[in-house]
């Protein structure tokens, strides 16, 4: 690599940061990724408890077949050869509402046909719904076309209401609930969720659905290995203290140990409020921008129960199960004291399962200042009570689960905040609002031209959304034309 190569520093080694670093290294830049924790991966991180490997936030992805949404991106990032396991094509997601079971089948036509058996009078409405999903998927890469990405996000379905579309299209209220029943992949909010977010995520999983044998950490590790092979470096236990500027241009980053690293470009794969903190000494960042970033709302977090199962007691289920308490309104943002919805996900090569349910930061904030392991018995009792409610609710579908449990390891939004640095333990990043896409759907640009943002807090969350965002961010440095061609044409 030339000694004259431009140098890029990436703050944060989550999926977005690693993908940006991969792109820049492939384009010949000298890349350094700085991760403040001991492990890379962010929400992709895997961890061991005994002989069982659990995932932190990764459970499944959609659209991995050729011609589908995620395929071109993962082909470019050299991630297709990981041990992907396709989920059951007849039912990759099972939704339980009002005691009835409904199957989500892979493939747009099979999806329509399967649900039409339960809702025959809504078949035409289901086709309208699916055609909208397909159109979003077919035009997803329009975000890579020439022009300002701001225009794409502000004039597209980001500026339409997901809830209004469902109520206008689907007459049967039960079917509306069913179509919303896999909602633990996003935060359903009837007043704010953009239709684009709802559509892109659901479309990709209907295309095809996949688990990863051996854990999501493999994605992060594979990207890091390739970055190293291209001459870049990924450093852990290296917290950044400040971004330093001169005459409106960032010169580099100051580490907590006092070391200064020069950079021609800086990409921050962290929450925008953390970026503002790092820019505290940057005089070119106006207060109006600081207030805007600090005023953004975060989506809800999750309680997760990682369950080690007694060997041979519960056969592996090649689907996800979403169970909702009778009478639950899935589009109500307010969470109650009781667990009303739970997702069950299984590991293809282990006697293990995860249960997930939404949880507010407000529910755990009173323990936020206490160190890990020293939050007190009341915190442990609180988590145990929630886990028990999850087991009771999923027991309506899997009564054999309770006797199959060997040990449970639970985590709350506090855990996510501590180990993945997600702001307030948010599961899906900043809350987008279809009323105001200009202010809640962020672009990579900041007031400092050579400092850029990436990650789930910008426009879309999840593996697909973050991968799209990584390309848009990196293109601000290397240009979109050749990058788009390499991704779409292979």
pLDDT digits (tens, 9 = 90+) for 442-468: 899 999 999 999 999 998 889 999 999
Q: Is the dihedral of CA 206, 212, 216, 221 positive or negative?
A: negative
Among 379-383, 424-428, 465-469, the minimum mean pLDDT is found in: 424-428
Domain positions in the chain are 7-46+216-296+431-489, 62-67+82-136+163-214+298-425
| CA 186/CA 177 separation, integer angstroms | 14
Q: What is the mean pLDDT of the chain?
A: 92
Query: Has residue 104 got a pLDDT over 50?
Result: yes
63 dihedral zone (left: phi>0; alpha: psi -120 to 50; beta): left
Pairing of strands 233-235, 352-359: unpaired
> What pLDDT is recorded for position 1?
39
Among 80-89, 359-368, 436-445, the minimum mean pLDDT is found in: 436-445
| φ, ψ at 476 (rounded to 5°) | -65, -20
Instruction: Tell me how far the alpha carbon of residue 156 is from its chain's centroid.
Output: 21
The pTM (predicted TM-score) of the whole model is: 0.94
| CA 454/CA 8 separation, integer angstroms | 14
- Would 7-46+216-296+431-489 and 62-67+82-136+163-214+298-425 be classified into the same CATH topology? no
The class (CATH top level) of 62-67+82-136+163-214+298-425 is alpha beta
Give the mean model confidence (pLDDT) for residues 362-366. 93
pLDDT digits (tens, 9 = 90+) for 384-413: 999 999 999 999 899 999 999 999 999 999
12 closest CA partner among 476, 454, 483: 454
Instruction: Tell me how far the alpha carbon of residue 157 is from its chain's centroid.
Output: 19
pLDDT bin (cut points 50, 70, 90) of residue 2 is: very low
> What pLDDT is recorded for position 3?
43
Query: Has residue 153 got a pLDDT over 70?
Result: no
> What pLDDT is recorded for position 260?
97
Packing angle, helices 462-478 and 15-26, rounded to 10: 40
| CA 344/CA 353 separation, integer angstroms | 7
Query: Has residue 333 got a pLDDT over 70?
Result: no
Give the mean model confidence (pLDDT) for residues 39-45. 92
Task: Quote the percentage of the chain above a pLDDT of 70.
Answer: 96
> What pLDDT is recorded for position 410?
95
pLDDT digits (tens, 9 = 90+) for 279-325: 999 999 999 999 999 999 999 999 999 999 999 999 999 999 999 99
pLDDT digits (tens, 9 = 90+) for 248-287: 999 999 999 999 999 999 999 999 999 999 999 999 999 9
Packing angle, helices 195-207 and 462-478, rounded to 10: 110
Pairing of strands 61-62, 52-55: unpaired
Give the mean model confidence (pLDDT) for residues 199-210. 95
**Chosen CATH of 7-46+216-296+431-489 out of 3.40.640.10, 3.50.50.60, 2.40.30.20, 3.10.129.10:** 3.50.50.60
pLDDT digits (tens, 9 = 90+) for 48-79: 998 899 999 899 999 999 999 999 999 999 99
pLDDT bin (cut points 50, 70, 90) of residue 4 is: low
pLDDT digits (tens, 9 = 90+) for 16-31: 999 999 999 999 999 9
> What pLDDT is recorded for position 423?
84
Among 3-7, 41-45, 327-331, 421-425, the minimum mean pLDDT is found in: 3-7
Q: Which residues pair with 301 in a beta bridge?
A: 359
For 87, other C-beta atoms within 10 Å of its C-beta total: 22
Query: Has residue 149 got a pLDDT over 60?
Result: no
Query: Has residue 337 got a pLDDT over 90?
Result: no
Q: Is 235 exposed, middle or buried (0-12, 13-18, 19+ CB in 10 A)?
A: middle
């Amino acid at each position: 690599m030339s000694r004259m190569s431009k140098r890029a520093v990436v703050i944060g080694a989550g999926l977005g940061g690693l993908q940006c670093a991969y792109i820049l290294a492939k384009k010949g830049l000298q890349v350094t990724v700085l991760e403040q924790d001991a492990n890379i991966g962010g929400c992709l991180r895997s961890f061991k408890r005994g002989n069982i490997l659990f995932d932190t936030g990764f459970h499944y992805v959609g659209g991995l077949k050729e011609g589908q949404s995620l395929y071109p991106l993962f082909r470019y990032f050299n991630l297709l050869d990981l041990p992907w396991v396709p989920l059951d094509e007849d039912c990759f997601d099972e939704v339980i509402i009002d005691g009835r079971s409904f199957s989500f089948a892979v493939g747009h036509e099979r999806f329509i046909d399967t649900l039409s058996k339960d809702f025959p009078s809504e078949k035409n409405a289901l086709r309208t719904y699916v055609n909208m999903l397909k159109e979003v998927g077919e035009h997803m890469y329009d975000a890579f076309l020439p022009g300002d990405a701001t225009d794409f996000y502000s004039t597209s379905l980001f500026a339409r209401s997901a809830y209004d579309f469902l109520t206008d299209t689907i007459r049967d209220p039960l079917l509306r609930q069913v179509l919303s029943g896999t909602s633990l992949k996003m935060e359903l909010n009837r007043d704010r969720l953009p239709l684009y977010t709802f559509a892109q995520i659901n479309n990709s999983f209907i295309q095809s659905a996949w688990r990863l044998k051996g854990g999501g950490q493999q994605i992060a590790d594979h990207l890091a290995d390739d970055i190293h092979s291209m001459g870049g470096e990924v450093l852990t236990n290296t917290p950044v203290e400040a971004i330093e500027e001169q005459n409106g241009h960032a010169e580099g980053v100051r580490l907590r140990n006092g070391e200064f690293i020069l950079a021609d470009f800086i990409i921050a794969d962290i929450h925008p409020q953390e970026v503002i903190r790092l820019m505290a000494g940057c005089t070119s960042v106006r207060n109006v921008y600081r207030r805007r970033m600090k005023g953004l709302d975060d989506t809800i977090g999750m309680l997760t129960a990682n369950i080690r199962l007694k060997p041979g007691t519960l056969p592996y289920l090649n689907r996800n199960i979403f169970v909702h308490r009778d009478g639950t309104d899935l589009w109500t943002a307010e969470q109650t004291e009781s667990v009303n919805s739970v997702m069950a996900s299984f590991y293809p090569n282990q006697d293990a399962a995860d249960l997930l349910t939404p949880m507010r930061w407000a529910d755990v904030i009173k323990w936020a200042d206490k160190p890990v392991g020293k939050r007190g018995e009341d915190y442990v009792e609180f988590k145990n009570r929630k886990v028990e409610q999850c087991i009771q609710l999923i027991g309506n579908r899997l009564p054999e689960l309770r006797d199959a449990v060997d040990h449970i390891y639970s985590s709350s939004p506090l855990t996510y905040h501590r180990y993945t640095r997600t702001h307030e333990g948010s599961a899906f990043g900043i809350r987008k609002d279809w009323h105001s896409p200009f202010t809640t759907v962020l672009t990579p640009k900041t007031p400092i031209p050579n400092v850029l943002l990436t990650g789930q807090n910008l426009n879309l969350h999840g593996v697909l959304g973050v991968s799209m965002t990584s390309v848009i961010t990196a293109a601000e440095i290397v240009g979109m034309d050749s990058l788009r061609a390499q991704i779409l044409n292979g």
